[in-house]
Chain A
Amino acid sequence: MSYEAVIGLEVHCQLSTESKIFSGSSAAFGGEPNSHVDPVCLGLPGVLPVLNKTAVIFAIKTGLAMNCRIAGHSVFARKNYFYPDLPKGYQISQFDEPLCEHGYLEIQDGNESRRIGITRIHLEEDAGKSIHAESFVKSDETLVDVNRCGVPLVEIVGEPDIRTPREANLYLTELRQIVRYLGVCDGNMEEGSLRCDANISVRPAGQKELGVKTELKNMNSIRGVERALEFEIARQVKILEEGGSIQQETLLWNANTNEAAPMRSKEYSHDYRYFPEPDLVPLSITDEWIADIENSLPELPSARRRRLAVEYGVPEYDAAVLTDNQALADYYEEVARAAGDGKAASNWVMGEVLGYLNEHNLNLKDLKVTSENLAALLKLVAEGTISGKIAKTVFAEMASTGEQPDTIVAAKGLVQISDSSEITGHVQQVLADNPTEVEKFLAGKEQVVGFLVGQVMRATCGKANPKLVNQTLRDELQRLRK
């Protein structure tokens, strides 16, 4: 029997604000333990939260970018539970009146495009960090660092529209790219600034009713989410095929063993007793405010991919690579415009530039080749001043020194030899030096031309115009044949 998986993802994004959602201590990642703490996030008696305006704007930006309806009226709620990393005994979140609802993301798999629904996006505060595994933790204790308490989060709750681990990967990749473009979250899953939990069930293909679902947690990369889902689908299918039944439970993914195991938590309760947060007044979001925020949105990844394909005539795959992040897309567009050739710019940025950055483990901002200089290099090739092959040498030199291409070309005498009498001279010399090869050619072995071209290029240190060399060589050999 074949099975179909039904997957819904819940994503938490830490918002890149300076301060916390309800108080003024730093929201920066890390820091010495318990050094980003104020009385509000510590939950001391008598303190009152005051909402961070930037966090609200970031959440609305996220909602707009994910095609949500933004609520005109939105309230906060208390979610009550006891856990050591939650000093107040409740998390301030949103319940029945979230900021954003009814959105979707479009995912693209080859030529196929699918819409994955987004139920809601709401604002809430992060909890602290529990530490169980460090060497200095005693066997009977859990340590708590409350630095993370009160860091603003948006929770993006997806509809169970995802059917395969690969779709989950595409959805998360798209979502992460959007929050990065918006500048609302750095999307770093290793540091936990973007976290993903997955609800998953399987059912026989064609069956309408849903199977029993489990929840997967603790994945710290997009690939990890994909692997965990693959593991869990296989596990659930095996149980069903052996006639068993699925337990509704939470499983923790272990990236080292590539297995998910049931979470062993001592206290587990789903009775959160939400009620409206009495310490915060409601949010009223006017159409004007929403319009202002909408006008401040950058061009989003999907729109930029489409525009690059149309405006510069690059294939969709190239457009996707070039728009991976805004800095790269900006760089590409600057090169393409200045060089007046979108395809050559795409080949160079995807080939030499990304290759160089990859090889040297650098960021684009560290690259010494400015977009202006790369465009100038492309022009030298287009005008025939240097060959494409020489250009790669020049690029390497530009990358290590930051010099302009024409300076390097002049200093190293790399100008392409396109003078036919000079090339003819070199060709005749090579033919005179290689009588055996010439004999072979005259006997019908055409392949030796390649060798002879190579000899000419060597004689000119690669500077001869290869097309001209090829032509001249064939003409000269033809003459000898007569």
Chain B
Amino acid sequence: MAITIAQVEQVARLAKLQFDSEEKKRMAEQLNLIVDYVEKLNELDTSEVAPTAHILNLTNVLREDSVEPSLSPEEVLQNAPRQNNSHFSVPRVIKEL
């Protein structure tokens, strides 16, 4: 399975990353090495093995439904680059209403 430049561009777009053409080429090469390595698994017959959802052999790690104290709004917002009226302020995401 070969990773194409187009696939690198698609993944970069979804991850909001920008690469120049040299970087895209390098990414494709490196990703191909990783995928080739994982391809090794195809040498095994896993048709009788259920998909592994988690590597720990645990189920049902649950908590009781009880409320614990919240952070204060000041703490919540302390790392926000911009805030307004106790809200996070981000660049507008809707073009028009």
Contacts and interface: CB of A to CB of B under 8 A. Distances in A.
A32 B76 CA distance: 12
Contacts of A3: none
B95 A281 contact: no
A98 interface: no
A36 B84 CA distance: 17
Contacts of A24: 63, 66-68
Interface string A283-296: 11000000000000
A265 B71 CA distance: 31
Given A136-B84, A141-B90, A144-B88, A52 B54 contact: no
A443 interface: no
A153 interface: no
A143 B56 CA distance: 39
A283 B76 CA distance: 31
A275 to B, nearest CB: 10
Contacts of B62: 50-53, 56
Interface stretch (A127-135, A209-217, A349-357): A127-135
Interface stretch (A37-45, A113-121, A186-194): A37-45
Contact of B85 (A23, A33, A276): A33
17 contacts: A19-B66, A25-B67, A26-B70, A34-B86, A51-B62, A52-B63, A53-B63, A136-B84, A136-B85, A138-B84, A142-B90, A142-B92, A264-B96, A271-B10, A281-B54, A281-B61, A284-B60
Interface string B57-95: 011111111111011110011000010111111111111
B16 interface: yes
B49 interface: no
A146 B95 contact: no
Contacts of A139: 92
Interface in A295-309: none
Nearest to A279: B54
A26 B14 CA distance: 32
Contact of B70 (A37, A50, A83, A136): A37
A181 B7 CA distance: 49
B6 interface: no
A313 interface: no
Given A52-B62, A132-B94, 7 more contacts: A24-B63, A32-B86, A264-B94, A271-B10, A271-B14, A276-B54, A281-B59
